[in-house]
Amino acid sequence: MLRWAAIFFIIAIVAAVFGFGGIVDAAAGIAKILFFVFLILFLISLITGRRKSL
């Protein structure tokens, strides 16, 4: 998921260089959402992965 966030971030940068304002906003928004979803899932996996079963 972090890979997709990076891809949309690169798309946003390339679109900004060429002056496509609407595409920049959309790609940056998608990248931001994917990054936060990745971050939340990563933290959940850290918390649940550290439990020791009895």
Residue 40: pLDDT band by 50, 70, 90 thresholds?
A: very high
d(C-alpha 21, C-alpha 12), whole Å? 9
Is the overall model pTM greater than 0.75, yes or no? no
3-state helix, strand, coil in the chain (%, to 5): 85, 0, 15
Q: Are 22 and 7 in contact (CB under 8 A)?
A: no
Is the confidence at residue 30, as pLDDT, over 80? Answer: yes
Residue 49: pLDDT band by 50, 70, 90 thresholds?
A: confident
Segment 22-42 shows an average pLDDT of: 86
